[in-house]
Structure 1
Amino acid sequence: MSDSPAGRLQALFEGHRLTPTQRRIAHCMVRRAADVPFLSSVELAELAGVSQPSVTRFAVALGFDGYPALRRHLREVAPPEPGAGSGGGGEGDGGAEGWNEYQQAVLAEIENLRHLAGLLADPKPVERAGRLLASSRPLLVLGLRAASSQARGFAYFAAKVHPDVRLLDEGGSMLTDRVDAAVRAGATALLCFALPRHPREVVEALEYARAAGLTVVAVADSAFAPVAAHSDLLIPAAVGTGLAFDTACAPMMLGRVLLEAMADELPDAQARLEEFDTKAAARGLFVE
C-alpha cells in the first residue's frame, strides 16, 4: 500500500465492513485525500452526495467517537503532502501507480480470482461437493438478496444436466415449506450461495434444512461467514468491496466449477446436453 495520503486512507478503511453509503464516503475521501483533513462533515457530505448524519455514522463505523475525532486522526497520521492535489491518485493493487478507483476494483477482483485458483489446487472439497449435489434428487439451490443472482445462474445451468433442480431465491414463510417438499421428494443436499450482507433468513433456512436431514454445501465470501456454523461443506470465494456495491466474480466462478464437478458425477450429463442442443436447433431457439 502506498504511503501517499490516498494510500493511508485506504489502509484506514481496510478491515471494516462498510455499507454502500459509507463506501461512497470512503471513495470520495480517497479522491480528495489532500483536502479531507480540513473538510467539515457538512462539506464532506456534500462532496459525497450523502447526508451529514451518514458521515457521522461512517466515522463511528471506523471506530471513532464521531467525525471530529476522525478528522483529528487524519491530521495527525495522514497530513496532506505538498502538491499532492486530489483526484484519485495513489496506488492500485499490485503497486501500479495511477489506477483510478474503477481499475482498482477490477484489480482487486483479479486478486480474488487468483486466491480462488490457489484454493482449488486441492480439488478434494469441490469433488466432494460435486458428488453430494449430483446424488441429490431433487437438488435445492438457495440464494437470497445479493446471492440470488448466483443461485439463479447455477440453477439455470444445473437444470441442463441434473434431472430435478429446485431454486430457492425468495424468502418468506413458504421457504421452509419448499424445503419440506423437497425432502419428502427425496432431496439429500442443498447448495447455498451466501454473500454479504448476510440475511438472517438464510442462516435460519440452513439451520432448518440440516435439521430436516439435508447436507448443506455453501459458497460464501469467507470461511467465517455466518452460514459456516450451519454448513457441512463450505468453500470460500471472496467478494470485492472496492465499489459501492460488492462484486462477486470469484463466487460466480466457484459456482461454475461446482457445476463442472457435479456434471462429472452425472453419467448422463453429456447426453442431456446433446439432447438440449438438438431440440434448441429444431426450435430455432438461438440466433447463431
Structure 2
Amino acid sequence: MTETGGAPDATARLQKLFEGHRLTPTQRRIAHCLVRRAADAPFLSSVELAELAGVSQPSVTRFAVALGFDGYPALRRHLREAVPGGAAPDGDGSFNEYQQAVHAEIDNLRHLASLLADPAPVARAGRLLAASRPLPVLGLRAAAAQAGGFAYFARKVHPDVRLLDEGGSLLVDRVDGAVRAGASALLCFALPRHPREVVDALAYARGTGLTVVTVADSTFAPVARHSDLLLPAAVGTGLAFDTACAPMLLGRVLLEAMCDALPDAQARLEEFDAGAVARGLFAE
C-alpha cells in the first residue's frame, strides 16, 4: 500500500534509515521523535528536533553522524530529497488544532493499514495468544484502557484471560501465577510515557519462558528489547494528552486473529449471545 506524499511513506523511510545502526538510548529517543513527526521531520532544525526529543543540540549532531552523515544538515537534506515532490507541509492554517489532531490520527491509521498489508505477524500473534492458557494481558497507566478493552472482548472467546492492569509488588506474583497455571504467552500494551515497571515486568516474563507479544507506539519503544514480537501502532501527539486510535484498532485486529486461531470461538460467541438474550442483558 502506497501513500504518495503522506506520513505513512515518510515513516517507513525513516524506520528503514535507522535499521542496522547501533544507537544509544539518547539516539533512539531522537529516532523515535522523528518517526512520530515523520511528516515534518525533513523541515525541523537541529534545535527544534532537540527540543522535541528532550535532548541537547550536540546530541542531534552526534545522532546524524551515527547514521553516516557529515552532520545534521546533511541528514535533513537527505530527508527532504526523500519527500515526494519536495514540498513542505501545508501551512495555510486551514485546519484548527482539533482538526489537525484528527487528521494526524487518520494518518496513523493509514500507516497501520500499510503495515497490515503483511498479515503474517498479526496471524502469528493470534496463534500465540490463542494457545496460551491462561492468557495474561498487561497494560499499565496510559495503556490500561487498551489492555482492559482487549481483555473484556477476549474473555468472550478465550477460556482464561487474566488482566494485569495494576503495578506494584504484586505484578511479578501475578505473572508467576499465570506461568504456574500453564501460560505460554503474554500480551502487553505499551504506550508513552512508558512505565519502568512495564519494562521490568516484560524482562521478567521472558525470563520465565513466556513469549511476549507487544503492541507499542514505535519499534523504538523501550519495551522492544524485551518483546519477542512487537506490533507498532503510532499514537497521536497533537493534543495535551496522546491519542491512541491506532493501538486500539490493532488490539481489535489481534482479537480477530485470535478468534481465527480458536476453533470454538464462534460457538462461544453464539452461546454468549443466547445467554444475553435470555437475561435481557442489553436494551434493544
- 1:153 aligned residue: 149
* 2:137 paired with 1:137: no
2:129 partner SS: helix
| Aligned match for 1:216, one of 207, 212, 215 | 212
Letter in 1 for 2:183: A
CA distance in 2, matches of 1:252, 1:275: 26
* Contact 2:32–2:220 (8 Å) recurs in 1: no
- 1:198 aligned residue: 194
CA distance in 2, matches of 1:177, 1:15: 35
Distance 1:96 1:277, change over 3 A: farther
CA distance in 2, matches of 1:117, 1:129: 17
* Contact 1:93–1:104 (8 Å) recurs in 2: no
* 2:234 paired with 1:250: no
Q: TM-score, normalised by structure 1?
A: 0.69
Aligned-residue offset at 1:59: 9.3
In structure 1, list runs of 5 or more residues that go unmatched.
2-13, 18-57, 65-91
1:63-74 matches, cutoff 5 A: 63=56
When the two chains are superposed, the root-mean-square deviation of aligned CA atoms in Å is 2.4
- 2:109 aligned residue: 113
Q: TM-score, normalised by structure 2?
A: 0.70
1:226 partner SS: coil
* 2:271 paired with 1:270: no
CA distance in 1, matches of 2:282, 2:145: 22
CA distance in 2, matches of 1:99, 1:61: 27
1:163 partner SS: coil
CA distance in 1, matches of 2:279, 2:218: 43
CA distance in 2, matches of 1:134, 1:60: 38
- 2:280 aligned residue: 284
Aligned-residue offset at 1:224: 1.0
CA distance in 2, matches of 1:93, 1:276: 49
Which 4+ residue blocks in structure 1 deviate beyond 2 angstroms? 14-17, 58-64, 92-97
1:78-137 CA-partner distances (Å, limit 9, x unpaired): xxxxxxxxxxxxxx9777741000000000000000000000000000000000000000
Distance 1:210 1:283, change over 3 A: same
